Structure formats: structure tokens, C-alpha cells
Amino acid sequence: MSTRKPMALHTKMLVGFIAGLAGGLLVHWSNGGDAPWIQWLMTWITQPVGKVFLRLLFMLVIPLLFSALVVGIAEMGDIRSLGRVGWKTLAYTVIVSSIAVVIGVSLVNLFQPGAGVDPAVAQQLLRDSSDNAQKIVASSALHGSGMDLLLNIVPTNVIRAAADNDILAVMFFAMMFGIGVVLTKSPMAMKTKEVIEGVFEISMTLIHLVIRFAPYAVACLVFNLAAVFGWDLLAKLAGYVGVALLAMAIHFFIVYSISVRAFGGMSPVRFFRGSQEAIVMAFSTASSNATLPTALMVAEEELKLPRRISRFVLTVGATANQNGTALFEGVTVLFLAQFFNVDLSLTQQFVVMLVCILGGIGTAGVPAGSLPVIAMICGMVGVPPEGIGLILGVDRFLDMCRTTLNVTGDLAAAVVVSNGIEEPDNLPGQT
């Protein structure tokens, strides 16, 4: 008697995407979605299901990002003991993540993969689905500009900022709190860190539960979009995937090659050849955390990096150095903004870039870990969060690609940070 293997979640999401797309296209082709029964279906079933899914994601954004950022920064508690190593790791992370986001945002602005949708149709969908997004953007700090925008990042009341979904202010507080944990070497501070780690683990557990609901939400969200936009949806989606892959390829082959050669003193050929096993594992699992043991082995055995450096950089990097995730979030948000004809100012695009860079620190290194962050950023800039239904069907493949970028970036960071540092003798665990 053979037991059937349960269908993988990403397969279910793909099935939901195809089902929703096929149903929506059929409706669009037949009557454009104007039939009374279609309106009833969208009003009472498909839209509520999609909104419940998004509300669940929004519900978990604040505790997830706060705990992830605090834990990610607190993991750099070795900064004082490692001294220059810690700060070098931090500087590299910020600079390379910034480059990744700039590449992604620039290509989206250049190729405009989401542009060209009928403005009247897009605005109709915006009016129908943007209630939650408008509540968020109405209370955010994005209405200011220049110095006001900068000042609003620093909250006067972090509880109020969290209640108002002022994510930048919450992130700033989380960063300060994490720095405080690093600097405070007391038993109570360590217990506080453990509590926040518990919050992070609980948030991740709940995220996993919510993501299990994703296939059904995907079907509903995509059905609504396809019923409105029709075949244009497929063309736009193909353009989005193409731009995302191009941006990742540029960062993978050009930026990493330059960084390991110029700042790490290692041949790019040797680097990529030595990293093969970790690259394959990252692509297969779509999880930076699951790939961490392989990455540690590759760093020590293939790349011959100092053990104490590679362990520190790679462990921290699994959470805090996610170039691919930051790039992907920037590309996705701007694509959805173009799709829904939401004109983002330079200030708003800068804020998106900033949040994406911070999101690279605060995004969990697990499959689909960036979805809550993307939904949150969309709400911040007035893009309907429902739009993430567009990308969920292809997210598994893009997740595999961006995880590969993340893990390779961690190894590149280890190479750069290790440059000029010799492995001391008699390390613990070393014979």
C-alpha cells in the first residue's frame, strides 16, 4: 500500500495561481466581469478571502519586523569582541544591499514592466481595493518631504507609531533597541534578548500558518485581477519576472565579482567554483537558514576562510545580509506601483529603497519570508496590497533565485571581511 506524498506548498500556490488566472481570464473574455453573479462572487467571496489573508499578514508585520531587526542586530553582539570585523561586516552589508536595491529600482524605472495598463480600469480597481492601504498611508510619515520626512523617522511615541503603522519609525526604534542590547552586557539584557527571540519564533510560526492559507488567497486575488485586466496581466507578469531576473543576474555576476576581486583579493572564478555547493543548496531550498550549514562548510573547506570570521559573518548574514530579498522587494513594489498607475515621487521611491534595505535585515531567511514586508511597503506608498496576488504564483521560482543571491552574498561578504585576517591557532573545535 503506497502513501501519497502531500503536495508541496509552492505547488499548491502555483495551482491556485493558475486556477484563479484561468477563471479570471474566462470571466474577462466572456463579459468583462459585469454579470451580476460575478459581481456577487467577487464582493462576497473572492475579495473577502483575499483581504483576510492580507489582514493576517499586516497583523504580523510589526512583531515580525521588530523582533527580527532586534535579533539581527543583537547577533552582532560580537562586534565589540571582533572589533573591526563587526563594523566591516555591517558596512559591507549596508553598501551592497543599497547597490542591489538601486539596480532593481533603476531597471524597473528603465523598462517600466508594469506600465501601460488602462488608467481608468486601474483606478477602478484602486477604488475597489485600497481601503486598507489608504488607512495605512494616511497615518504614515510619507506625507512629509525633505527634513519632515527625516524627522518623522524618529518616533516620539513608538506605541503610537506601531498603532499607526508607521513602519519606518518602528524600524528605527528596533534598530536602536538592538544596539542597546549589544551595548548592555547584563543578565537582564540577555534575558530580554531571549524573550525577543521567542517573539520572533512565535511570529515565524504564525507566518507559516498564514502562508498555508496562501494558495486559496492567491486564487481569489488573481481571479479578481484577471477578471479586470484580462490578457494584459500575463504580458505584464512576464515583463516583471524578466526585469527581476536581469537585476539579480547583474548583481550576482558583476557586483559580487567586483567585490570579491577588488576588496576580497580572490578570483571570481575561484569564488563561484568554491561556492557551487552552497549555491545549489540555496536554489533548491529557497531558505538562507536551511543553507547555513552548507555555507559554513563551503567557506571553511572550499574557500579556505578563517573559521571565526566565516562563522560570524555567515550566521549574521543569514538574517541581516539579504541582498536578493532587498532587490526583489524594491522591484516588486515599483512594478505594482506602475501596474496600478500609482505615481511614486522621488522621495517615496527613496523611502521604498530605505525600507527595502532595512527589510533585508528584518526579513526571515525562510521561503516566502519577504511577503509580509512587500505587503507592508505597498500599503505605505498607497499601492493596493492585494496586488501581491500577481506575484505569488511566480514567487517560488523568484524566491529560489533571490535566496541564491542572498547566500552567495553572505559568502562574498565573508571573503571581503576575511581579507588580510589570518586564522589564529588553537581555535575551539579545531584540531
- Reply yes or no on whether the pLDDT at 146 is more than 60: no
Q: Which of 297, 289, 388, 296 is nearest to 336 (CA)?
A: 388
Grid cell 519576472 is found at 241
State the CB neighbour count (10 A cutoff) for residue 113: 23
User: Which set of grid coordinates corresponds to residue 41?
Assistant: 462572487
For residue 308, what are the CA distances in angstroms to 210, 256, 276? 37, 22, 22
Burial of residue 236 (number of CB atoms within 10 Å: 0-12, 13-18, 19+): buried
Whole-angstrom distance, CA of residue 401 vs CA of residue 409: 12
In terms of pLDDT, which residue wins out, 207 or 326? Answer: 326
Report the pLDDT value the prediction gives residue 147, as an integer from 0 to 100: 54
Q: What is the mean pLDDT of residues 365-388?
A: 75
Report the pLDDT value the prediction gives residue 129, as an integer from 0 to 100: 45
**Helix or strand run (H / E) with residue 256:** helix 256-262
Whole-angstrom distance, CA of residue 319 vs CA of residue 230: 39
Q: What are phi and psi of 152, to 5 degrees?
A: -70, -15
Q: What is the mean pLDDT of residues 235-257?
A: 93
Report the pLDDT value the prediction gives residue 106, as an integer from 0 to 100: 95
Q: Which of 233, 238, 245, 235 is nearest to 340 (CA)?
A: 233
Alpha helices in 75-83 (DSSP H): 79-82
At 393, the amino acid letter reads G
Report the pLDDT value the prediction gives residue 118, as an integer from 0 to 100: 66
Which CATH class, in words, describes the domain spanning 10-418? Answer: mainly alpha
Q: Which of 325, 315, 286, 253 is nearest to 97 (CA)?
A: 325
End-to-end Cα distance, the chain: 49
Whole-angstrom distance, CA of residue 311 vs CA of residue 361: 18
